[in-house]
A = this chain, B = another copy of it.
Amino acid sequence: MRLSKLFTKTLHSAPADEQALNAQLLIRAGYIYKEMAGVYAYLPLGLKVQENIKRIVREEMNAIGGQELIMTNLQRSDLWQITDRWDEAKVDVWFKTKLQNGSELGLAWSHEEPITDMMRNYISSYRDLPINVYQFQTKLRNEVRAKSGIMRGREFVMKDLYSYSLDEKQHQAFYDSVIEAYLRIFERIGIGDKTFLTYASGGAFTKFSHEFQTLTPAGEDVIYLNREKRLAINQEVYNDEVIKHLKLNRADMEQLKASEVGNIFSFGTVKSEQLDLSYTSKSGDKQYVVIGSYGIGITRLIGVITELFADQKGLVWPEAIAPYKVHLIRIGHSDELTKKADKLYKLLTDSKIEVIYDDRDLRVGEMLKDADLLGIPHRVVVSDKGLANNTLEWKKRTDSEAKIINEAELVSILES
């Protein structure tokens, strides 16, 4: 993509009411646009990051047998009434709306009820199980406060997976495979070393749920971490009993701020009993399906990654999710230089390397500043200086000094 064509421009400042560092930077760099507090549009660069994360998550969900679908935003009230979660005193994040005939509809803050009810069409015998389905869905949650940028949106993208199992044993095996898949995902997108399996409250259904917490001062959660064992406990269940249960010692636990990027949950048969999702077992009797629910906050992840890696100069993307791999800058306007830069742009894009090409006629300082703000992993500068001896300047976003190399060296670096 040529920067001269990209419609977004870097902005000098974010809206005055934007308090979160992640949203401030992403707005200034043109990745997102703030529609209102907690509600952000994703512009071309931001959408590419989102799609890159989705691709990795999709691959890992498919690898453990997940089947992708997409449920609806508009939801009927009846199912939520059955499970006693329609009342706003019980669930305080509902957005609701009305059909023309006056009947109330809910807007999706979760899909546990509708997806479980749908499964009644597809589950009747033990032969139909297990079923594991997932979606990338826009969720709407009526948060009272939305001050953490894209880390807590009123509108946000979530990957939610639901597992339907024969029994506790089948459920537990899948649950464990999700833990492994989640760890692979966070590793692949570049936050593996900062993300920890965390024991959290299980609510009414089970003793614990599991969270995946990424360490960041911008996080809204507090966890207690044993770094050596890579195991954490959410503050909400941090007590002697739980510490003992996990064979940990209070002395080894570090108190840290973190953001919950993933969450997995066992419902047992509570929801299937409420919504009457059952199957006929091998021996012919009626059994309730064991349900699990597994989320990853896709847009929250973008916020967390922004907070984790950004520096004074701007964004810094891990290569696996960066919108482009290379930020190519042409400094100078001579025909010869333009031809050389255009040729390099074509060479790289023909090799399926994603390049953003700053072909604008701006001051050098402005172009370098924009490159830092955008945070693309590899910066390549072609200038009249290098034209004579056929060299270019290459610098990783995380390096402090550029290196003079030739084109063959660049290609070998980028393809490695």
Q: Which residues of A are in contact with B by a Cβ distance under 8 Å? A: 5-9, 11, 33, 35-36, 39-44, 46-47, 50, 65, 67-76, 95-100, 105, 107, 114, 118, 121-122, 128, 131, 133, 138, 140, 142-144, 154-155
Contact = CB atoms under 8 A, between A and B. Distances in A.
B72 A35 contact: yes
Does more than half of chain A's interface fall in helix, strand or loop, or is it mixed?
mixed
Contact of A73 (B105, B118, B138, B144): B138
Contacts of A46: 69
A121 B40 CA distance: 14
16 contacts: A7-B122, A7-B128, A7-B133, A35-B72, A35-B76, A35-B114, A41-B70, A41-B114, A42-B69, A50-B70, A72-B155, A74-B95, A99-B142, A100-B144, A107-B107, A138-B138
A62 to B, nearest CB: 10
Given A97-B96, A142-B99, A72 B122 contact: no
A114 B34 CA distance: 11
A9 B9 CA distance: 49
Contacts of A9: 122, 128
Nearest to A11: B121
Contact of A6 (B8, B67, B118): B67
A68 B107 CA distance: 25
Nearest to A137: B138
A292 to B, nearest CB: 15
Contacts of A107: 97, 107
B33 A100 contact: no
Contacts of A155: 72-74
Contacts of A99: 142, 154
Contacts of A105: 36, 95
Given A35-B76, A36-B76, A40-B72, 11 more contacts: A5-B67, A7-B67, A7-B133, A9-B122, A9-B128, A35-B114, A41-B72, A44-B69, A73-B138, A74-B140, A97-B97
A126 to B, nearest CB: 14
A153 to B, nearest CB: 9
